[in-house]
Amino acid sequence: MGRIDKPFVDWVIGQEDAIVREYKNWLEENARYLLEPYGCYSKLIEALNTTEFYALIERDENRIADGRDMRRTFLYDTNDYSFNEYVYLENLPVTVLEVLLGLAYRCENTILGDPDYGNRTGEWFYTMLESMNVINYDDYNFDIYDVDLAVHYMLERNYSPDGAGGLFYVPNAKHDMRECEIWHQMHMWINYKFPVT
């Protein structure tokens, strides 16, 4: 068996770094665009994109899949990368930002999309940040300690039974939101926000 040439290995690592950098920029630019009507949130977005998402409830693994869907959208949009680079990107841990964006797009594209209102993906993204109590940390008021604490409260499900501090706040929720998977939390929030009359 032959020895792998070091310049080749360096090239492969460089390519992998390039796809990660480009994806990170693409994802954060996407998030900044969605939040643009509400203010400047570059620091918050970067903090969310450097925190790994993990699931304490088994079905929340599906939200990790939503995050990975952002990677597929990026690869479809750019169409510049090899299969090996795709596999490398696919196997990296999913971040909180990826999950929030993936869920916001899924909410818009499969549940709440309405041509009469236009694309409201940014509104769904904003709603989750507001519920997590991090929306006041724009670039002028950013505090990494408070943001990290809020994000970890959300991840550890240390929020209120009504979802305040989690992704979806539902006043007078009939179920303890801490015990429900995120997908069901979102549906409870939708039923609260858009009641059927």
Q: In this predicted model, what pLDDT tens digit does every residue of 114-168 receive, in sequence order?
A: 666 767 889 999 999 999 999 999 999 999 999 999 999 999 999 999 999 999 9
Above 70 in pLDDT, residue 2? no
Stretch 70-87: mean pLDDT: 81
CA distances from 67 to 72, 82, 103, 155, 192 (A): 9, 20, 8, 15, 25
Percentage of residues of the chain with pLDDT beyond 70 = 87
The one-character DSSP state at 159 is: S
Tell me what pLDDT residue 163 has. 94
The one-character DSSP state at 127 is: H
Residue with tokens 């409870």: 188
Least-confidence region, from 6-10, 54-58, 125-129: 6-10
The pTM for the full model equals 0.87
Question: 126 near 135, Cβ under 8 Å?
Answer: yes
Stretch 54-83: mean pLDDT: 86
Stretch 7-32: mean pLDDT: 72
Tell me what pLDDT residue 112 has. 66
Higher pLDDT pick, 4 / 158: 158
Tell me what pLDDT residue 196 has. 67
Above 80 in pLDDT, residue 93? yes
Confidence of residue 59 (pLDDT cuts 50, 70, 90): confident
Query: What gap in Å lies between CA 99 and CA 103, rounded to an integer?
Result: 6
Tell me what pLDDT residue 61 has. 87
